[in-house]
């Protein structure tokens, strides 16, 4: 969510590189976020290769902000 909150969107490959996780682990988390409507998914093709991009939704931004605020309270 942190990556998507500061970028307009991000593709699967880049998220995997940034987070250093396996394909299956990332896919599982992204599916959960999509089901919660915290992210939206766009699938396209680039030179016949599939490309999946993720964007944070307004609901996702709100939930992520609440999460950050809760962490800040714990730190204080």
Containing domain of residue 45, as a range? 2-75
pLDDT category at 68 given cuts 50, 70, 90 is: very high
Query: What's residue 26's pLDDT?
Result: 97
Q: How does pLDDT run across 2-61, given as a tens digit for each residue?
A: 999 999 899 999 999 999 999 999 999 999 999 999 999 999 999 999 999 999 999 999
CATH number at residue 7: 1.10.10.10
Candidates 58, 54, 68; CA nearest to 19 is 54
Residue 9 CA to its chain's centroid (Å): 8
Domains: count for the chain: 1
């Amino acid at each position: 969510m942190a990556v998507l909150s500061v970028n307009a969107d991000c593709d699967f490959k880049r998220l995997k590189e940034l987070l250093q996780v396996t394909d299956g682990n990332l896919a599982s988390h992204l599916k959960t976020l999509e089901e919660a409507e915290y992210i939206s998914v766009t699938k396209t093709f680039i030179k016949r290769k599939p490309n999946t991009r993720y964007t944070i939704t307004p609901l996702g931004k709100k939930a992520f902000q609440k999460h950050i605020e809760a962490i800040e309270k714990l730190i204080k």
